[in-house]
Amino acid sequence: MDMLELIKERRSPRGFFEKQISEEDLNKIFDAARWAASSYNGQPWRFIYADKEKNPELYATLLDIMVEFNQAWAKAAPVLMITMTTVKYEHSGEDYKHAWHDLGLAVGTMSVMAQSLGISLHQMGGFDALKAREVLNIPDRLEPVTMIAMGYGGLPGNLPLDIYKMEIIPRVRKEIEEIAFNKPFGKI
Ligand SMILES: Cc1cc2nc3c(=O)[nH]c(=O)nc-3n(C[C@H](O)[C@H](O)[C@H](O)COP(=O)(O)O)c2cc1C
């Protein structure tokens, strides 16, 4: 498949089919994260994930960390995850200024890998980071950044009406001319 088409097909669904993600596909998705670029090859990304059927207790713990709106739809996803990043470089102990950037790159490669397998990731900023730290025993050297619902996107008809409406609105993007420039900004 054309790469740009694959990238454009990626979306963040709020409805999911009741279909498990195989161990093999999950490994491919995490493997894709490993190969992302990172500052000083610091590889700051960390993930705690739970499969709804295989690890229901941890799944419930992860779901409970999310804000109510996200719980309403994410509970249909077969896999939930929290992403974290290290806050210091391992090699020097200095502040890892690009840690969030590098975690984002890893999640980006995971998204594209997943998309090629027909699997979607829906990232969330709507969760309680303090609660996450407490219930998951996240050490100080790591910072919780996002949560992710992962699965085979579909069945929007199962969603509450307000969320269903969000699912069917057209996806919009800025034009290339609005984000990429071949000259400096003008003086104000
Ligand atoms: C860092 C981040 C935080 C987000 N937080 C939420 C969230 O809390 N709840 C939600 O429903 N969607 C959330 N989203 C999904 C965005 O709304 C979505 O990516 C955006 O509207 C573009 O849609 P698309 O991913 O389908 O192209 C988040 C996405 C990112 C990358």
CATH of the domain at 71: 3.40.109.10
How many independent structural domains does the chain possess? 1
The SS3 of residue 108 is: helix
Answering whether pTM is above 0.85, one says yes
Residue 59 lies in a domain: yes
State the closest ligand 1 atom to the C-alpha of 14, by its place in the atom list counted from 1.
Answer: 11
State the closest ligand 1 atom to the C-alpha of 66, by its place in the atom list counted from 1.
Answer: 8
Owning domain of residue 137:
22-169
Distance from Cα 86 to the centre of ligand 1, integer Å: 22
Distance from Cα 148 to the centre of ligand 1, integer Å: 10
Residue 17 lies in a domain: no
CA–CA distance, 78 with 17 (Å, rounded to integer): 8
Residue 161 lies in a domain: yes
Residue 4 lies in a domain: no
> Measured from the CB, is residue 12 less than 6 Å from ligand 1?
yes
**Which alpha helices (H) appear in 3-160, and where do they start and end?**
3-9, 23-34, 56-65, 68-74, 99-116, 129-135
Residue 11 lies in a domain: no
Residue 98 lies in a domain: yes
Q: Could you tell me the pLDDT band of residue 156, with boundaries at 50, 70 and 90? A: confident
Residue 15 reports pLDDT greater than 80: yes
> Measured from the CB, is residue 124 less than 6 Å from ligand 1?
yes
CA atoms within 13 A on the CB side of 56: 1
> Measured from the CB, is residue 71 less than 6 Å from ligand 1?
no
pLDDT tens digits, 50-80 = 999 999 999 999 999 999 999 999 999 999 9
CA–CA distance, 115 with 137 (Å, rounded to integer): 31
Predicted pLDDT of residue 39 = 98
Residue 114 lies in a domain: yes
> What percentage of the chain exceeds 70 in pLDDT?
100
